[in-house]
A and B are shown apart, each in its own frame.
Chain A
Amino acid sequence: MSTENEPTVRLWHGTTRRRADAILKNGPDPYFREPGGLTLTEAFSAARPDLPATMGLPATYAEGKARLFPNEGGPAILEVEVPESICRLTNDMGGDVRFVFGHGLKELLKAWPSLTKRILEP
């Protein structure tokens, strides 16, 4: 799948600063387990900031995650520009984009090193 020069979709993922730093560097980790957790994350969810929030704002998720894990550097938002062709592989749930294997995650991970991304303070 060629994603060069195609339009992108801006996505925001609310999390802790430590996790945002790791995702920025290595891409989403579907095998990540939260401290104390037994279940793999399996997916990477993010919101389109250009659409109305129907399931919560990324900043709200970031603050909630930072409260749950107070030793992870506080809240942060990871912003990434994802090619439209990859976003179309995911399910459209009205502003929430969820990448899982078979639905865009493999393609997202492959493209990750070349994607434009940064960390925002909520």
Chain B
Amino acid sequence: MISTCELPQLIQTQLVGKKVDLVAVVDQLLGMAHAAGELRCQLASDEAIRFEFRGEEPVDIPVDLAKGKLRAMCARLGWLCHESGQTDISLYGDEGTFRRNLPSDETANGSSFSWRLKFMNTPGEQYFIITVQ
């Protein structure tokens, strides 16, 4: 299981900078959310994103172009709902569920897990909440 202590390194190495593997970042965050039960994510400032795992203190991590990258993560999660069959989901903000294999999880044995998603992805409001079902 991916530990939430790995969050700062994940963000620094995979979300900060010019080239971002958004699919990998979101999959890693799903692994951490699975371990914690829930992840809440929102803007902390123009240059930082706030991550809050259930039962832990919120952590603000500096990220360049924070709003754009947070919106991209929201869109990715919304698209996972769409790919899971919720084709009427609004990528500008909605609620939904999706299934996804956890990355590099030795306990998963190829099985997928379900998450519930609530998010907003507009110029004025950006956040997501993913909860393990």
Q: Do A and B come from one complex?
A: yes
Q: Which residues of B contact A38 (CB under 8 A)?
A: 124
What class of interface size applies to chain B in its complex with A?
Answer: 20 to 34
Whether B101 sits at the interface, judged by CB under 8 Å, is no
* Chain A residues, Cβ within 8 Å of B123: 33-34, 37, 39-42
Given contacts A34-B123, A39-B124, A61-B91, contact A55 B19 (CB under 8 A): no
- B76 in the interface (beta carbon within 8 A): yes
By a CB distance below 8 angstroms, the chain B residues around A67 are: 90
B35 at interface by CB-CB < 8 Å: no
Tally the A-B contacts, defined by beta carbons under 8 Å.
70
**Residue positions of A touching B, CB distance < 8 A:** 33-34, 37-43, 45, 53-56, 60-61, 64-65, 67-68, 91-94, 96, 98, 100, 103
Q: Which residues of B contact A42 (CB under 8 A)?
A: 67, 123
**Among A39, A41, A60, A94, which residue has its beta carbon within 8 angstroms of that of B91?**
A60
10 A–B contacts, CB within 8 A, in A order? A33-B123, A34-B123, A41-B123, A56-B75, A60-B82, A92-B18, A94-B21, A94-B23, A96-B75, A100-B65
Instruction: Give chain B interface residues in 53-76, CB to chain A under 8 Å.
Output: 65, 67-69, 72, 75-76
Name the distance in Å between A40's Cβ and chain B's nearest Cβ.
7
Binary interface profile of B, 8-41, with partner A (CB < 8 Å = 1, else 0)?
0000000001111111000000000000000000
With a CB–CB cut-off of 8 A, which chain A residues contact B92?
61, 64-65, 68
